């Protein structure tokens, strides 16, 4: 049996346990590994207290200590300006336009597997290694495919659905091909002497340190009072800015009186043009089809309509669909209506465990009412 080639690998180390174990596994597999921490915050907090993401000075130090234990070189690369332009500014602009973006997908597309990968290849590295839970499979024709992780409970292929075949050819996910609990990953880190073994996971949006998305957006877009309307256009209340809402939202609507039937109301539509938010019953959130823009294909694009499953949220369920690329768009129709699909979110298509591609949801269609 021919031994696997020894690669020059750049391991992106966030300062968390997953990326540290991934770097350690890559080094243990015999690769020539160099660790790098991406400084993405322009004003990183010194300590994690009050900071819920992965961009603090403490995280940088934790990554350096992990690299020292593994025995690999380590560097910090400043990509804060690129991150601000491609991820943070995009996030704000999308909310301002009444859409709900996923910054993790944008970061993978624009930072980790574009800016970072481009720099890595220019420096002579063969691959970028991260702590994502997903797998890259080499097909019979030599092309690369992205598949779900062996452990579906931790699968992160949804946020990697923006990677094309060229990027996949230089991607390495050492945690994706084994079924291990997070507890087992932490135990492995402890056996390896990595101090991050007991470090809490990062969560929420990394660049919103306190988790207050509405406050973050208000600080950048301001507050502007507008109307909350029902489906008939009747005013039910006011808000401080339409950008603070997302389709499907139920809490924090500040509506003065209940619906006539006593049932909860949900955000159905956001109009940044006239700064209004429309609310209504849960059943009005049902969607039969959608159109997505900026499709990204993890391999050869489909040549016509096909049957797939689609995932609409990072931790959402799969649902059967028929999908077809049409020009620069992706048309998706659901076998059964789905609920609370927000423009700006990503739709990711799967063929079994294989990720076919993704697109950014632009418009949605409600089911045609049944004739009485």
- Counting every residue written for the chain, the total comes to 372
End-to-end CA distance of the chain: 68
Residue closest to 10 by CA, chosen among 102, 72, 100 = 72
Residue 248's SS3 state is coil
CA distances, 229 to each of 162, 217, 270, 341 (Å): 36, 22, 10, 19
Q: Are strands 8-12 and 32-39 parallel, antiparallel or unpaired?
A: parallel
CA distances, 190 to each of 3, 24, 156 (Å): 29, 12, 24
CB 22 within 8 A of CB 174: yes
Beta strand extents in 212-328 (DSSP E only): 226-229, 235-239, 266-271, 276-280, 286-297, 306-311, 319-326
Among this protein's residues, is 107 annotated catalytic?
yes
Please tell me the distance from the alpha carbon of residue 69 to that of residue 294, in angstroms, as a whole number: 42
Among this protein's residues, is 206 annotated catalytic?
yes
* Residue with token string 């996910």: 173
Active-site residue among 54, 55, 129, 206? 206
Active-site residue among 55, 107, 129, 298? 107
How far, in whole angstroms, is CA 141 from its chain's centroid?
29
Alpha helices (H) in 192-297, listed in sequence order:
213-221
Q: Which tokens in the block code for residue 11? A: 């391991």
**Burial grade of 102 (CB within 10 A; 0-12, 13-18, 19 or more):** buried
Please tell me the distance from the alpha carbon of residue 34 to that of residue 32, in angstroms, as a whole number: 7
Q: Which tokens in the block code for residue 38? A: 């991406």
Q: Half-sphere exposure of 78 toward its Cβ, with a 13 Å CA cutoff?
A: 4
Residue closest to 161 by CA, chosen among 358, 351, 312 = 358
Catalytic residues, by residue number, are 107, 206
């Amino acid at each position: 049996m021919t031994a696997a080639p020894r690669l020059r690998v750049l391991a992106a180390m966030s300062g968390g346990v997953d990326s540290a174990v991934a770097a350690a596994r890559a080094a243990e597999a015999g690769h020539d590994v160099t660790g790098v921490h991406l400084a993405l915050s322009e004003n990183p907090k010194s300590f994690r207290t009050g900071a819920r993401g992965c961009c603090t000075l403490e995280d940088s130090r934790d990554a350096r200590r992990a690299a020292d234990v593994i025995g690999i070189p380590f560097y910090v690369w400043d990509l804060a300006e690129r991150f601000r332009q491609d991820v943070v500014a995009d996030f704000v602009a999308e909310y301002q336009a009444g859409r709900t973006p996923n910054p993790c997908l944008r970061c993978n597309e624009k930072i980790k597997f574009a800016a970072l990968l481009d720099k890595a290849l220019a420096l002579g590295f063969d691959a970028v290694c991260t702590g994502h839970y997903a797998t890259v499979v080499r097909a019979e024709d030599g092309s690369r495919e992205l598949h779900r992780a062996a452990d579906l409970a931790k699968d992160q292929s949804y946020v990697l659905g923006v990677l094309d075949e060229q990027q996949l050819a230089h991607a390495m996910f050492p945690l994706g091909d084994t079924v291990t609990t997070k507890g087992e990953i932490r135990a492995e880190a402890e056996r390896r002497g990595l101090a991050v073994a007991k470090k809490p996971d990062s969560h929420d949006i990394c660049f919103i340190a306190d988790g207050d998305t509405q406050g973050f957006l208000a600080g950048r877009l301001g507050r502007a009072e507008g109307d909350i309307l029902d489906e008939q256009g009747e005013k039910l209340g006011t808000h401080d800015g339409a950008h603070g809402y997302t389709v499907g939202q139920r809490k924090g609507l500040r509506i003065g009186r209940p619906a006539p039937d006593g049932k909860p109301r949900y955000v159905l539509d956001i109009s940044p043009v006239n700064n209004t938010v429309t609310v209504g019953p849960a059943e009005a959130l049902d969607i039969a089809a959608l159109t997505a823009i900026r499709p990204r294909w993890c391999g050869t694009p489909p040549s016509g309509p096909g049957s797939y499953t689609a995932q609409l949220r990072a931790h959402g369920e799969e649902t059967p669909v028929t999908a077809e690329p049409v020009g620069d768009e992706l048309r998706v129709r659901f076998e059964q209506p789905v609920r609370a699909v927000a423009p700006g979110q990503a739709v990711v298509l799967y063929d079994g465990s294989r990720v076919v591609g993704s697109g950014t949801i632009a418009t949605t269609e409600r089911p045609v009412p049944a004739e009485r």
